[in-house]
Amino acid sequence: MEAVTDLRFHTVSSDLRCAVPATRRVLLIDDHELVRAGIRTLYRLLDDLSIEWLEAASLQEGLQVYRDSGPVDVVLLDLNLSDCKGLQGLRQFLQAFPEARVAVFSGTQDEFVVRQARALGAVGYVPKGAMMVEMRNTLAALVGDARRGRPASPGTLFPRFPSSAMYDRVAELGPRHLEILELVLSGCSNQEISNSTQLSLGTVKNYVSSLLLALDVKSRSHMISLFR
């Protein structure tokens, strides 16, 4: 009788363990506390997964949290942080942790930025302006992908925004010009670009001038408007 009781106990315990949702760890790097609190509150559960949210308010803090917190399944990285602008943050994160699964989390709805993020190694692009159901589906695909150990459909994780005729000309630009263009489109001043890239201010001005010439535009504001 005792053996039967024990067997039943173990069976029930096993069933209870199976009912507990698996946990995935997601690091959200965003400098707005209200955004972090909202995401954490709204998406505690995604499908059959429980989400443990880790948070950071800057790139450097995010790198430290990722380094110290053990395994992280997905990183959501804002593009405009106090210590980093544009896709520089993505570059730096993947340089520090090449194995990290980093998705861009941004209010920028620009096809050029989406394409560049993907080319640099991002696993997805999550627009801040997405409808709640769209964001939930994208986040679920990202953490589900981490669980299965295989990539989800690219169309699921990289939204398409209206393209510009500029993209044909952009395709002919070199890596450094593309990097400068990313920062210009992020709203960075020449001095901020200089600080971010470690180039002299004069060199940055030369790159910006050559971009205006290559893209056949009259001014910085004109160039930015063509990608919006």
Place 12 in a pLDDT band, splitting at 50, 70 and 90.
very low
Neighbours of 107 (CB within 10 A): 11
Return the percentage of the chain with pLDDT > 70, whole number.
Answer: 82
Q: Give bridge partners of residue 25 from the DSSP assignment.
A: 52
d(CA 37, CA 70): 22
Please determine, for residue 142, whether its predicted confidence score (pLDDT) is greater than 70: yes
Which amino acid is residue 89, in one-letter code? G
Burial class (CB in 10 A: 0-12, 13-18, 19+), 123: buried
Please determine, for residue 67, whether its predicted confidence score (pLDDT) is greater than 90: yes
d(CA 166, CA 158): 20
d(CA 66, CA 48): 24
Q: Give residue-wise pLDDT tens across range 78-99.
A: 988 988 888 889 999 999 999 9
**Per-residue pLDDT, 6:** 53
Q: Are 108 and 79 in contact (CB under 8 A)?
A: yes
**Per-residue pLDDT, 186:** 82
**Per-residue pLDDT, 199:** 94
Residue ranges of the chain assigned to CATH 3.40.50.2300: 20-157
Mean pLDDT of 54-73: 95
Which class is domain 166-226? mainly alpha
Does CATH number 3.40.50.2300 belong to domain 20-157?
yes
Three-class secondary structure of residue 75 per DSSP: strand
Q: Angle, to 10 degrees, between the axis of helix 190-197 and the axis of helix 175-185?
A: 130
Q: Give bridge partners of residue 77 from the DSSP assignment.
A: 29, 104
Please determine, for residue 69, whether its predicted confidence score (pLDDT) is greater than 80: yes
Neighbours of 184 (CB within 10 A): 23
Residue 78 makes CB contacts below 8 A (sequence gap 6+) with: 29, 30, 31, 89, 105, 106
Please determine, for residue 42, whether its predicted confidence score (pLDDT) is greater than 80: yes
Residue ranges of the chain assigned to CATH 1.10.10.10: 166-226
